[in-house]
Amino acid sequence: MLKWKGWSHREFSNPFPAKLVIEKDRVYIENSNKPHGNGIIDPENFSPYPKNPTIAKFFKEIGWVDELGSGVRNIYKYNRIYSGADPEFTEGDVFKTIIPLTTQATTQATTQATTEEEDGIKALLEFCTTPRTRNELQEFMQLKNREYFRKKILNPLIKGNLLKLTIPEKPTSPNQKYYSDR
């Protein structure tokens, strides 16, 4: 379940619409605000203040929000890990959060995922030196979604001649097994 904490920060007497905008190099969020200061928030000297204390308390009681101020701290912590850049929070009549997205972080995450996927495919092909069922292959890859496995892994390996069928004349046979020439 997605837990959006914006309701406890929303200033409902201001008609400014809440916005979430995703751009190539950043994500920014704007929300109406009852400011307790103006300008960029310094995380070292940050004092959280609920915009709607009653709503904030209610959402905390039902477990939809964490402790006051944890969102700012978590965004600073995790954004540094994922993008290597600091987010920016600006206090005013409109509260604005800017989450920078860096090419380096995106490229690094993509490269890591691609490398892990390639390693998994190599291991799968090695595993298939003995003919295996689709279920065995799927379990080996630790993938639960049968359709995803078939479309994204199994079919491309067959089309690329990296996996062969033990019963090629009946590709959908329940007795079908797959093997690698490696």
DSSP the chain: ----THHHH--TTS-PPPEEEE-SSEEEEEEE---SS-EEPPGGG-----SSHHHHHHHHHTTSS-STTHHHHHHHHHHHHHHSS--EEEESSEEEEEEE--HHHHHHHHHHHHHHHHHHHHHHHHHTTS-B-HHHHHHHHT---HHHHIIIIIHHHHHTTSSEESSTT-TT-TT--EE---
Domain coverage including residue 38:
6-101
| Phi then psi dihedrals of residue 91, to 5 deg | -95, 135
Domain-embedded: residue 87: yes
Residue 163 falls inside a structural domain? yes
* Rounded-to-integer distance, Cα 173 and Cα 178, Å: 12
Q: Which of 101, 126, 156 is the last residue in one of the domains?
A: 101
Q: How far apart (Å, rounded) are the C-alpha atoms in residues 178 and 30?
A: 53
Question: How far, in Å, CA of 100 to CA of 41, rounded?
Answer: 16
pLDDT truncated to tens, each residue of the chain (182 aa)?
334 445 445 556 667 788 889 888 888 888 887 777 788 888 777 777 766 667 777 777 877 766 666 677 778 777 776 777 888 988 888 888 898 887 655 555 555 555 667 778 889 999 999 999 999 999 998 888 888 888 888 998 998 889 999 999 998 999 999 999 86
Q: Let me know whether 60 and 134 are in one domain.
A: no
At CA 13, angle to CA 11 and CA 16, rounded to 5?
70
Chosen domain end from 56, 75, 101: 101
In a domain, 1, yes or no: no
The total domain count for the chain is 2
Whether 46 is covered by a domain: the verdict is yes
Residue 161 falls inside a structural domain: yes
Asked if 34 and 86 sit in the same domain, the reply is yes
CA distance 79 to 85: 6
Strand partners, 90: 40, 96
| 40 and 120 part of one domain | no
Please indicate, yes or no, whether residues 53 and 129 belong to a single structural domain of this protein. Answer: no
Assess whether 10 and 90 both reside in one domain.
yes
Q: Does any domain span residue 76?
A: yes
Burial class, 112, CB count within 10 angstroms (exposed 0-12 / middle 13-18 / buried 19+): exposed
Q: For the chain, what's the residue count?
A: 182
Same-domain check for residues 34 and 91: yes
pTM of the prediction? 0.45
pLDDT at residue number 133: 95
Q: For residues 136 and 80, state if they share a domain.
A: no
Pair 80, 128 in one domain: no
Q: Are residues 91 and 115 in the same domain?
A: no
